[in-house]
């Protein structure tokens, strides 16, 4: 396993590095990086629905879309990000437990009772300090997460929009009341660099072949090309929302699922899905498969039955799609 520490605080560079390492190295990888202020958007999220654009612009907070699914997260230099890239894994590995376990163990050693809760969150006393996401391609898995060490909670609460569909109670909880920093729970004071070093030592103990790796000139050039062409590009980060005359959003076991369609004379002409769900493959072909279909319950039911949804999504069912596609 290669252990890589990025020297860059540029979110678009570091998110680009994940894709570059995923596609161009054969070894397993553990990557650590910190970013200047940024919101990192999930692969299938509708960017403008997730962020407070006026606040992000006024405070020069970058917005970068990542390659994995899941929800929007806030980064700053007091947030440590970790990323596992694992070769020859099983696509059916849906749980986040295995690759959050080393982080939890480091925190336990520091006297902090952290645990994995819900779909993909790490919490302390019920408050979130880490959001995690997955991306699959073939038999390679990328799983990454945030670690709020001493981040600006005020920035988080203002830059991200609260989503009422995520809560069952009537009063929507503020983001500020639901998140916490690791530093507030430590029994002894340590710096974020010392915390990072403890994590690296844990990875070295857990993986016998672990060794430090520094980007070479080719790595840096290729990551920069990808950063400039994709991750610093408006089309990738914000994208163009389709024209639509049907839009519905639901909350299901797999997360938020939003369907946006253009329908002409009962026929689906454009079909897009958004949300913080996790998928096991790219979804372009899935979305295209609805074009030309009747927007009729029986037709859509039959179409969905012909698709192995379990091979595409984590915890999203045929009935979830039917609920999202019909009023």
Q: What is the pLDDT along the chain (327 residues), one digit of tens a residue?
A: 999 999 999 999 999 999 999 999 999 999 999 999 999 999 999 888 889 988 999 999 999 999 999 999 999 999 999 999 999 887 567 789 999 999 999 999 999 999 999 889 999 999 999 999 999 998 899 999 999 999 999 999 899 986 655 544 433 345 555 899 999 999 999 999 999 999 999 999 999 999 999 999 999 999 999 999 999 999 999 886 677 899 999 999 999 999 999 999 999 999 999 999 999 999 999 999 999 999 999 999 999 999 999 999 999 999 999 999 997
Residues 37 and 142 in one domain: yes
Give the end of a domain, one of 237, 261, 293: 237
- Point out the domain boundary residue: 181, 207, 237: 237
What six digits make up the tokens of 243? Answer: 């024209």
| Domain boundaries, position 292 | 246-325
The enclosing H or E element of 18 equals helix 11-24
Is there a single domain that holds both residue 92 and residue 173? Answer: yes
Judgement on whether residues 192 and 318 belong to the same structural domain of the protein? no
Q: Which of 216, 237, 258 is the last residue of a domain?
A: 237
Q: How far apart are CA 25 and CA 164, in angstroms?
A: 41
For 65, other C-beta atoms within 10 Å of its C-beta total: 24
* pTM of the predicted structure, to 2 decimals: 0.86
| Number of compact structural domains in the chain | 2
Contacts by residues 254-258 (CB-CB < 8 Å, ≥ 24 positions apart): 254/119, 254/278, 254/313, 254/314, 254/315, 254/316, 254/320, 255/70, 255/71, 255/119, 255/315, 255/316, 256/71, 256/163, 256/165, 256/166, 257/316, 257/320, 257/321, 257/324, 258/46, 258/324
Are residues 208 and 261 located together in one domain of the fold? no
């Amino acid at each position: 396993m290669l252990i890589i520490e990025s020297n860059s605080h540029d979110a678009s560079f570091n998110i680009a590095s994940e894709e570059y390492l995923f596609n161009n190295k054969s070894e397993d990888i553990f990557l650590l990086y910190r970013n200047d202020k940024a919101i990192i958007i999930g692969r299938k999220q509708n960017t403008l629905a997730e962020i407070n654009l006026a606040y992000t612009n006024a405070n020069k907070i970058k917005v970068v879309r990542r390659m994995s699914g899941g929800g929007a997260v806030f980064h700053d230099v007091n947030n440590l990000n970790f990323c596992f890239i694992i070769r020859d894994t099983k696509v059916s590995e849906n749980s986040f437990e295995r690759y959050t376990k080393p982080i939890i163990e480091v925190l336990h050693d520091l006297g902090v009772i952290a645990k994995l809760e819900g779909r993909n969150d790490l919490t302390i006393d019920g408050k979130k300090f880490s959001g995690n996401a997955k991306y699959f391609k073939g038999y390679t898995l990328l799983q990454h997460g945030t670690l709020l060490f001493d981040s600006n909670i005020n920035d988080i609460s203002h830059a991200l929009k609260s989503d009422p569909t995520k809560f069952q109670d009537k009063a929507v909880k503020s983001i500020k009341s639901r998140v916490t920093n690791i530093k507030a729970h430590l029994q002894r004071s340590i710096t974020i660099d010392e915390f990072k070093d403890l994590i690296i030592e844990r990875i070295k103990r857990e993986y016998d072949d672990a060794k430090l790796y520094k980007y070479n000139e080719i790595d840096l050039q290729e990551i920069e090309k990808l950063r400039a062409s994709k991750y610093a590009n408006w089309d990738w980060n914000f994208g163009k929302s389709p024209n639509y005359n049907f839009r519905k959003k639901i909350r299901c076991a797999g997360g938020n699922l939003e369907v946006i369609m253009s329908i002409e004379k009962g026929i689906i002409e454009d079909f897009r899905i958004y949300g913080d769900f996790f998928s096991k493959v790219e979804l372009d072909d899935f979305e295209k498969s609805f074009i030309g279909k009747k927007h009729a319950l029986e037709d859509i039911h039959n179409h969905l039955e012909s698709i192995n949804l379990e091979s595409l999504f984590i915890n999203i069912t045929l009935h979830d799609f039917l609920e999202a596609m019909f009023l």
